[in-house]
Amino acid sequence: MAISNAPVVLGMAAPEFELPATSGRMFNRTQIDGINGTVIAFICNHCPYVKAVIDRMVADAEALAAAGIGFAAICSNDAEAYPADSFENMKQFAKDHRFGFPYLLDDDQSVARAFNAACTPEFFGFDRDRKLVYHGRLDEGRTGPLPQGARRELLEAMTAVSENIALPFQPKPPLGCSIKWKPE
């Protein structure tokens, strides 16, 4: 079960963090920020919902980078209880899916708590003022192919943010596997 102090509230400031990446570098939030905004995705390696959307997520992150939107993915799962989500497996997952963005390890789960993240995949989109404007899912795909004619929700919303216009729709809640919290 997700542990959070408060619900996610649009308009909240982007939490600060510094985490190790699968590339061997450390990244803080400001190094990820794009000139027009930022997306932080909470994912993991083993979740069937993540596996179903990962290639679309990578493609959307690339398109958003071209629009001045920074992007990073964070794994906060308890890797001791879920070895598929270990840092070594994160490195392989990022390589296998050709991540063009940092994949970060939140080993103590403090960043997931700061964001009030609850599941994987879960997307947080911030505008150029680092205020939360999008909290939701990548798109309406679940564990199968994206339905024909479905909108690319995160991509459309954050493209609008990059153009400094209002979101074209109300974000839908994220749906996926719960973050695997460490015992307290």
Please state the domain extents for the chain.
18-178
Could you tell me the end-to-end alpha-carbon distance of the chain, in angstroms, rounded to an integer?
12
pLDDT at 1 over 50: no
pLDDT at 63 over 50: yes
Of 59 and 6, which is predicted with more confidence?
59
Name, in order, each residue with C-beta under 8 angstroms of 160's C-beta and a sequence gap of 6 or more.
Answer: 166, 167, 168
Where do we find the tokens 């509230």?
A: 9
pLDDT at 43 over 80: yes
Residue 6: predicted pLDDT: 55
Residue 2: predicted pLDDT: 36
Name, in order, each residue with C-beta under 8 angstroms of 9's C-beta and a sequence gap of 6 or more.
Answer: 132
Q: Give me the DSSP letters along 63-78.
A: HHHHTTEEEEEEE-S-
How is residue 11 written in tokens?
Answer: 């308009």
pLDDT cut 70: percent of the chain above it: 97
pLDDT bin (cut points 50, 70, 90) of residue 144 is: confident
Domain 18-178 CATH superfamily: Glutaredoxin (3.40.30.10)
pLDDT at 86 over 90: yes
The mean pLDDT of 111-121, rounded to a whole number, is 97
Where do we find the tokens 């991509």?
A: 155
124 contacts 134 by C-beta, under 8 angstroms: yes
The mean pLDDT of 60-83, rounded to a whole number, is 98
- Provide the pairing of β-strand 69-75 with 37-42: parallel
Is 0.85 surpassed by the pTM of this model? Answer: yes
Tell me the C-alpha to C-alpha distance, in Å, between residue 17 and each of 20, 44, 46, 65: 10, 18, 24, 20
pLDDT at 29 over 50: yes
- Provide the pairing of β-strand 37-42 with 122-126: antiparallel
The mean pLDDT of 68-94, rounded to a whole number, is 98
The mean pLDDT of 88-114, rounded to a whole number, is 98
